Amino acid sequence: MKPLTLTLRERPDQRLDLSPLVPHGLAGKTAREIEQIELQTTRHRIKVGDVFRLHAGDVEQIRIQNACDRLDYVGQEMKNGELVVDGDLGIQAGRLMAGGRLTVLGNAGPWAASGMKAGVLEIRGAAGDRLGGALAGEVAGMRGGIIIVRGSVGERAGDRMRRGTIIIEGKAGPYAGSRMIAGTVIVRDAAGPLAGFLLKRGTIVLGDNRSVLSPTFIDCGEHELVAMRWLAAMIEPYSKGAAVLLRRPFVRFAGDMAVLGKGEILVGNRN
Amino acid sequence: MPLTVRGVRIDDTFAEAFGMRATAVIITADTAQWARQAALSMTGFATSVIGCGCEAGIDRELTGKQTPDGRPGIRVLLFAVSTGELQKQLQTRAAQCLLTSPGSACYAGIDGEETLRLGNALRYFGDGWQISKRFGSKHFWRIPVMDGEFVCEATTGLTKKAVGGGNLLILGRSVQATRAAAEAAVAAIRKVPDVVAPFPGGVVRSGSKVGSKYKGVPASTNDAYCPTLRGAVKTALDPDTKSVLEIVVDGLTSDAVASAMRAGIAAIVKLGPRRGATRISAGNYGGKLGPHHYHLRELLP
């Protein structure tokens, strides 16, 4: 069966809330009913049919074509199925995702996969600040699932992350893995200053040894870790480059000693 | 009516076996030699549930491509009569024999309907420095030790479909020939997946009968099969039998036990009566105690 396709006609006049357009939300709805779903974020009402050309199909596999950075909350609380976005997205793509697979062929804005619980989010382009992070006032960010970003990410990727895996194939901005409670963040390229700022537990893997770390991370020497070989086998289907990095020796920095200090930054060499 | 295949007589009888609880773990190490060493330690003193708490053995060797961390490994099977005893044996053996072995790591070796605690029980050795890692449904623990880290999966599976006590009795005209037949049978059984032969080298020479003349002794020597008592007791031996050896097989499934017995019989028959055994039999308790019966005539090569 062909996928359900939504093609954006033109860049909308206001930001749109696309959170209703997820497989479990559209299950059992007719094309007509889907076109009546409201997406506005201002007082000016906008329905799906006003901004998207809809080609009916299987709601388990949704395609959003011609997307732009004014589309927010795409894939929010998604539980199952597949959602592929051709183009860029606005804020909080895949927020609170609990299953399924969300693929963004372009770039994603800030708070992508914020509070994600399970499933797979792949961003082929770049991602904004606080990837998988917590919103203001929340005690934990991402708590499960896997995020793969083929490009680079902004500040504080994995902020307050509790569980799950983030793979960044490009560069990470400052404070990658800040305030992490646990989980794994892999940055294949260079990370900005102060990765792992206030890291409690969890693992941050850096593929570039020129990253500037906080002095509250303590050098524990160079090691080859069996656990990383295991993890390499696990992530190989998602990122071959990251798997290669994990099989190499690392210098282990324990920290952040300014807080609990049960975390680690593993500095490797991707070259 | 006994059957004869290539000169080896096969009794028209059956092996009687019992349902057991079983689990499996995969042990890896930097080298195949050290993986084997850890596995040998873990499966040591595990010949019979009567005195050892569990029956255990090596199922097979694994290459780096077959193990979770890409290092050479060994799959070990453990069998016990209850889930509680199996958990206890798994935990103490993993703690004393795997955690302690240089470079070792330990992973679940079976997906079961229920799970047993593995790393979840050993993690406390880390004294607060243990690290939990999850990926998807997989969960493991990293415990800092003096040569690096002991990596151990949180749980492993449990199967209630396991069978223990499949057996072959091998009778021969000399000690050497009988031993050769037993060795050939064990070598064939080792190639069958999901089974172990838990006794020393896979072979047991002290088969037992139920009961004893002494109070409080539950089992005693199987005098009907002792060649030195041939004239003194109601013997099950032929006039020329000089030695009897038994192979006990435990398997994760009934089919695996049957396959192992079939492979063992084929190997003994192939060796022939001149160099090996003259007769194959099997041990049972009249068929009333164990639910699994393996009739030798159905397992002929």
| pLDDT reported for residue B1 | 63
Q: How far is A151 from chain B (nearest CA, A)?
A: 22
Cβ distance A227 to B71 less than 8 Å, yes or no, reads no
Domain residue spans in chain B? 3-16+161-299, 21-159
Among chain B residues, CA nearest to A222: B148
Which tokens sit at B20?
């057991």
Nearest beta carbon to residue B149 from set A201, A227, A233: A227
The predicted-structure confidence for A78-109, as pLDDT tens digits, reads as follows: 999 999 999 999 999 999 999 999 999 999 99
What three-state secondary structure class fits A261?
A: coil
Quickly state the pLDDT bin for A222 (edges 50, 70, 90): very high
ipTM of this model?
0.91
Nearest to A234 by CA among B60, B69, B45, B198: B69
Best of A120, A161, A226 to substitute, by most chain B Cβ atoms within 10 angstroms, is: A226
Torsion sign, CA atoms A37, A41, A45, A51: negative
With an 8 Å Cβ cutoff, are B142 and A223 in contact?
A: no
**Across the interface, do A230 and B134 touch by the CB < 8 Å criterion?**
no
Two structure tokens written together for B223: 């005098």
- Band (pLDDT 50/70/90 cuts) for residue A270 is confident
**Mean pLDDT, residues A115-121:** 97
- Helix ranges, chain B (H): 32-42, 49-52, 83-93, 119-122, 175-190, 254-275
Centre a 10 Å sphere on the Cβ of residue A228 and count the other Cβ atoms it contains: 28
Give residue B287's pLDDT: 83
Q: Quick check: is A102 in a domain? A: no
What is residue A269's predicted lDDT score, i.e. its pLDDT?
Answer: 82
Question: Residue B13 in 3-state DSSP?
Answer: coil
How many structural domains does chain A have? 1
pLDDT digits (tens, 9 = 90+) for A127-154: 999 999 999 999 999 999 999 999 999 9
Question: What's chain A's average pLDDT?
Answer: 95
Q: Give residue A142's identity as a one-letter amino acid code.
A: M
Q: Is the pLDDT of residue A271 over 80?
A: no
The predicted pLDDT at position B288 comes to: 83
- Verify whether the Cβ–Cβ distance A229 to B136 is below 8 Å: no
Q: Say yes or no to pLDDT of A225 above 70.
A: yes
Give domain B21-159's CATH number out of 3.40.47.10, 3.50.50.60, 3.40.30.10, 3.30.70.520. Answer: 3.30.70.520
Angle at the Cα of A131 from the Cα atoms of A130 and A132, rounded to 5 degrees: 105
Q: Are strands A16-17 and A71-72 parallel, antiparallel or unpaired?
A: parallel
Cβ-based contacts of B149 with chain A (< 8 Å): 225-227
Instruction: Output the pLDDT for position B286.
Output: 84
Query: Average of pLDDT values for A155-173?
Result: 97
A143: in domain: yes
For residue B140, the chain A residues in CB contact (below 8 A) are: 227, 230
Per-residue confidence (pLDDT) for residue B50, from 0 to 100: 86
Residues 6 or more apart in contact with residue B263 via CB below 8 angstroms: B185, B188, B189, B191, B192
- By Cβ distance, the residue of B105, B132, B133 closest to A231 is B133
Which residues in chain B have Cβ-Cβ distances shorter than 8 Å to A264?
131
Residues of A in contact with B134 (CB under 8 A): 144, 163-164
Option in A165, A226, A232 nearest B105 (CB): A226
Q: What percent of chain A has pLDDT over 70?
A: 100
Alpha carbons A152 and A73: distance in angstroms, whole number: 20
Which residues of chain A does B133 touch, with a Cβ-Cβ cutoff of 8 Å?
184, 203, 227, 230-231
Q: Is residue A54 part of a domain?
A: no
B70: nearest CB among A144, A201, A233 = A233
Nearest to A226 among B69, B128, B136 (CB): B69
Stretches where chain B sits below pLDDT 70 are 1-2
Pairing type for strands A118-123 and A98-104 reads: parallel
Spatial neighbors of A172 by CB under 8 A, at least 6 apart, are A152, A153, A157, A185, A187, A189, A190, A191, A192, A195
Q: pLDDT class for A210, splitting at 50, 70, 90?
A: confident
Alpha carbons B188 and A123: distance in angstroms, whole number: 52
Q: Tell me, yes or no, whether A96 lies in a domain.
A: no
Residue type, A226: V
State the smallest CA–CA distance between residue A87 and chain B in angstroms.
Answer: 28
Q: Is the peptide bond before A256 cis (omega within 30 degrees of 0)?
A: yes
Nearest to A104 by CA among A118, A119, A121: A121
User: B3-16+161-299 has which CATH code?
Assistant: 3.30.70.520
Identify whether A166 is part of a domain. Answer: yes
Could you say which of A203, A224, A227 has the minimum Cβ distance to residue B151?
A227
Mean pLDDT of all residues in A169-173: 97
State whether B132 and A182 contact (CB < 8 Å).
yes
Closest residue in A to B70 (Cα–Cα) = A229
Chain B neighbors of A229, CB-CB under 8 A: 69-71
- State the best of A204, A225, A230, A248 to mutate against chain B, taking most chain B CBs within 10 Å: A230
Question: Distance, in angstroms, between A131 CA and closest chain B CA?
Answer: 18
Question: Measured between CB atoms, which of A201, A229, A264 is closest to B69?
Answer: A229
Rg (CA), chain A: 19
Contact B140 A230 (CB under 8 A): yes
| Number of C-beta neighbours around residue A117 at 10 A | 18
pTM of the shown model: 0.91
- Residue A209: its pLDDT value, please? 87
The minimal CB distance from B148 to the residues A146, A223, A234 is found for A223
Taking CB atoms and an 8 Å cutoff, what residues of chain B touch A120? none
Q: Do A230 and B148 touch (CB under 8 A)?
A: no
Look at residue A151 and tell me if it is in a domain.
yes
Give residues with Cβ within 8 angstroms of B108, minimum separation 6: B24, B25, B26, B118, B153, B155, B156, B157
Range of the domain at A214: 107-267
Question: Do A234 and B131 count as a contact with CB atoms less than 8 A apart?
Answer: no
